[in-house]
Structure 1
Amino acid sequence: MFDRILEDCRLRYKPFRKVVEKEREPLSFAEAIKKATGKPVISEVKFSSPGGRVREFEAPKKIALEMEKGGACGISVLTEEKYFNGSLDYLRAVKEAVSVPVLRKDFIFDSGQVDEAYYYGADSLLLISSFFSSEKLELLIEKSRSFGIEPLVEIHSFDDIERAHNAGAEIYVINNRDKDTLEINLERSREFGRIIKGAKISASGISTIDELNYVLKYCDAVLIGTSIMKSRDVKNAVEVFVNA
């Protein structure tokens, strides 16, 4: 599934033509996680997924502000348009509204997308380890760091961990969802979290307090998307996890 979406994104990609200079210092996700006053929760603005609609549209700025008020230590914003109904404009709107770090979450494969991320206000961006060789992943990490961005590198397997480590990754996102079958297995956070040297964020499939507390035994933070976005009261949904 992920590989098919990636290929479609490649075919639709229009190169970013703007010349981007470093004009601001991005916020640090690593520091935000360390300084979180409750459970370190990164919440996500996501209206759809390949499985269908997650939430009816409302202003991303409004949603993100509610997430921040609920105690989220960071905000992830989907910018992929076709499968997730995201937008780079949502990224910019959220960045202008909140004081916590903002992540661009997308299928990134080209250095121009790093320029885009910085230009639209991202403090970090997601790189999926399995999409790259160690050499290409390292180039994208270095490109991100040239803007002061420390990327979050997503892993799905032990091979992904080795590739990310060799490329110099410092912050890892352990995706509990199998990228081919889409099945959830929280044991990934335990298996991978025990061997990763670096900051670890557990993502996907976390919808209860018990699940949150389980993955936090092995990871430094969690990224929660669907279960919060499906809640009628986003602020309260975040608070429940943060104060667990």
Structure 2
Amino acid sequence: MATLFDYLQWRGDLEFSQDGLNEVDSLIFSNLAYLRLDGIVSTEITDSPIPLAQIAEHFSKTDPTHPDSSNYYYPEKINKLLRETANTKRFKEVHLLAYMNRLDYKCSNQFSAVVFTLGNDHSYIAFRGTDNSIAGWKENFLMSFTEEVLAQKQAVSYVNHIANQLDGTFYLGGHSKGGNLAVYAGANVKPEVQDRILKIFSNDGPGFLASVVESEGYKKISHKVKSIIPKS
């Protein structure tokens, strides 16, 4: 079965201006959203964006097994993906900005997002999935029966803020909980922001309560949602 690394060898020589963003690109960005970018990518959208290659160079000088280097689950694999992605023509001009990372045990809240700029006024907003914190797992559990958890509210606010500061159009996406946040944000941002969303990718993301699916906001963007569920 082909892997993300096979894809990079196959399509890594084509810039996004030559071949637009697809489901595999979305999955790559969703994986890179697990990188811990605190102190590397600024939280301020007005600060200079950081090239993906520069981030890859930074992580090449760190121990990939150290918990501060990447996500807690597959740090070595994600760091390898970062290195190989940054070496391709397709991704080398991608920049990152507006990194947000929040963890609050008192509120059972875990939220992280980052913007990848693709050129031609296109950006991909990636939301991180659940980490291994107690707060993250508890919030993930709350999503199964709560109409709106704090991370979902933060996702809406984040996209509205990004859209207010950046021109152009957007893709939203994430893995697992991150996919849920992407869809929820798309359904609840301002109508004028919804119009600028090209597509929303939910990579194995959990579903929603009926109140969300039946909302006018969700109905407006439902045709833009691409849900990807891996085969067992």
TM-score (norm 1): 0.35
TM-score (norm 2): 0.36
Q: Which has the higher contact order (CA 8 A, sep 6+)?
A: 1
